[in-house]
Amino acid sequence: MGRFSEAVLKYSPKFDLADLNSSQRDAVRQIYGPVLILAGAGTGKTRTVISRVAHMIDTGILPSHILAVTFTNKAANEMRERISSIVKKDQAKEITVCTFHSLCVRILRQGIDRIGYKKNFTIYTGSDQVGLVRKLIARKSAKDESLDHNLALSLIGRSKNKGVAVSEMNDSLISEIEKAYNAELKILNALDFDDLLLFAVKLLNDHEDLRSVWRDKFQFITVDEFQDTNGQQMKLIQSLVGKDQNICVVGDDDQSIYGWRGAEITNILDFERFFNEPKIIKLEQNYRSTQAILHTANSVICHNSGRREKKLWSENVANENVRIIAMADEDAESQLVVDEILEMTATEKRKYEDFAVLFRTNSQSRLFETKLREYKIPYRVIGGQSFFDRREIKDLIAYLTIIKNPDDDINLLRVINNPPRGIGAASIEIATEQSRDLGVSLSEVLQSEEYQKKLPQRSRSSVKKFIDMLEDYRSPMMASRSGFGSLFSQLVDEIDFVDYLGRTCKTDTEREQRKLNVADFLTSLRDYDSSGRKNGLQGFLDDIALQQDREDDDDGPGVNLITLHAAKGLEFPVVYLVGLEEGVLPHKRSLEEGTKEEERRLLYVGMTRAMARLTMSFCSIRVRYGEEVYCERSSFLDEMDPQYVDVFSNDELSSGPVEENDAMAYFARMKEMLEED
């Protein structure tokens, strides 16, 4: 009996509805039909979602019929881990938790051959796209040498998401680039991230049998951060939702801040238009912030006209009001932040990680970085270059990609003479021209007798040696699901890649770092290889490509410097929201384009990152392009209810009384820093 009881305890769901508030319980119990959960900042959204999944399983729904879609790999991993903590491990494994892009890859790997692609298609990341577009622009440089590749890619991406061809925008050159870009992707058997969504939707809409297969598999669908979905993502959701409409979306229209990258707030505002008579549940009790912070944030966001009514509240009693500080200039602003960080770490024993400085644009971080360095305070800028975007890593990924897909011209061009192997620019140009004229891949050209006859003997030998090397590794690496990691390490040694890197580095530090990066990559490849995952090299490359949509994550200690866009989903005990001036926040561009409401939502997101203390500041003078310019305080500040707000000038703040014990601790900390010098 005792043993039986132990087993029951072991496998029972580790959640209790009684631990949830009434709104959360309503959301958990509402399993069938369309559901819209309006989850305000800090209201326990993730806890509610995973409890709902656990409740589904507890009521008898098969885990394999449950799909949870997120926007980032980080969010997917977190949800997966938290689900695993409250349901049986074997059940958790059967639940599909993934990003939109990875879901599309699953769908396309099974059926893309129906729309004219091979199932071993390559996923083109941002840098791959840049390389291809640059190549296409170079061909047409005589027409317009000033065409920016970023603009071209932006318009192409927008056209795919909106379903409106660039040609309809009356720009003939970009239209030509768009057509050539899509045509080359087809030849290369490659898809960009926009294509993943576009083709998955097309596949499901055009093939009823496939649509039925996926609807049968995913009978209960949950979409996280629904306010950030774009038009194609909404179409994908509609294609997957069956006649029972067991769809639950979770989001907050007040936190919709990605309109600039295609997010359509109307998806959440007009949810009733897409699904019949949805149940709408509001999560308004906040567990993160004080009532002072929430009241002030509510007083700002209520000025938006396009929103669903909600009002966050908290049982957390405010120890202090929200502060608004008028600064003389940006140097005074950064100095105040540093001074208060030093004071609070000394007097309140706070960690540097407790602090976040939030700003509208990346350029605003420079002064804070300089000041923090001056005082030897560790910090981290959230963002920066991804590991997989580093030059040497992209070179290795390119080798793996062409081993997997020999028709990938962009990656072939990246490595054909990297490291140098005697295949010069003239030989490559001949191959490129022939590839374009014949409409075939570079790989096919390189292996053709017609091409090789055009080359000098030495170049011909180098090309043949390169092609033979790739073929020697391709067969064993693609033949089995394991062993490719060790084989690729052999290839890296064979081409003396690390030695070549060393010769291209300017300093010993750079040389060591790049060498370490290569070693780390090879280790990750071997680890993936030995993990026994089903899809072998294909799966490894898919995972890397899909990492492009993950949020940058830096777990090192230090004060957090972060843009408002990157701050979404994070929380910090102490937040400084700097640069609240007209033209900065709201941004000048929003005033010109009529997107001020999104800027207000951006401010709201920033304010609701704060748990205990929130300070907002603006400057009278800033230096721009070497010139002092006078600034006007943000109009958003005038919208704030003053009930929980204290307004200071910097002089007033610095002249305020200081407790004796706090003063002693502060000066002791300063003494330590001076002694470190």
3-class state of residue 408 by DSSP = coil
**CB–CB of 603/585 below 8 Å?**
yes
Set 26, 46, 436, 595: catalytic member: 46
Question: For residue 133, what is the enclosing H or E element?
Answer: helix 126-139
Residue 412 region by backbone torsions, left for phi larger than 0, else alpha for psi between -120 and 50, else beta: alpha
Handedness of CA 7, 12, 16, 17 (dihedral sign): negative
Q: Which are the contacts of 402, defined by CB distance < 8 A and separation ≥ 6?
A: 408, 411, 412, 415, 443, 470
Q: Which are the contacts of 485, defined by CB distance < 8 A and separation ≥ 6?
A: 522, 525, 526, 527, 528, 529, 530
The structure tokens listed for 42 are: 């800090």
The answer to whether 224 is a known catalytic residue is yes
Distance CA 450, CA 458 (A): 16
**CB–CB of 614/577 below 8 Å?**
yes
**CB–CB of 253/8 below 8 Å?**
no
627-630 and 610-624 as β-strands: parallel, antiparallel, unpaired? antiparallel
The answer to whether 255 is a known catalytic residue is yes
Set 194, 225, 333, 597: catalytic member: 225
Set 609, 613, 615, 622: catalytic member: 609
Percentage helix, strand, coil, to 5, in the chain?
A: 60, 15, 30
The answer to whether 609 is a known catalytic residue is yes
Residue listed under structure tokens 């540093």 = 338
**Cβ atoms within 10 A of the Cβ of 218, count?**
21
Cα-based angle 617, 623, 628 (whole degrees, multiple of 5): 110
Set 43, 48, 91, 255: catalytic member: 255
Set 24, 45, 82, 282: catalytic member: 45
Concatenate the DSSP letters of all residues of 21-80 into one string: -HHHHHHHH--SS-EEEEE-TTS-HHHHHHHHHHHHHHTT--GGGEEEEESSHHHHHHHH
Distance CA 261, CA 102 (A): 19
Set 128, 178, 224, 598: catalytic member: 224
Handedness of CA 539, 544, 545, 547 (dihedral sign): positive
Please compute Rg for the chain using Cα positions: 28
* Amino acid letter, residue 373: R
Maximum alpha-carbon separation in the chain: 87
Q: Which are the contacts of 135, defined by CB distance < 8 A and separation ≥ 6?
A: 410
Nearest by Cα to 575 from 322, 354, 356, 349: 356
Measured in Å, how far apart are the chain's first and last C-alpha atoms?
68
SS3 per-residue string spanning 474-495: HHHHHHCCCCHHHHHHHHHHHC
DSSP state of 243: T
Sequence length of the chain is: 677
Question: For residue 380, what is the enclosing H or E element?
Answer: strand 379-381
Task: Kindly provide the residue ranges of all beta strands, DSSP E only, lying in 578-655, ordered along the sequence.
Answer: 610-624, 627-630, 645-649
Enzyme catalytic residues: 45-46, 224-225, 255, 609
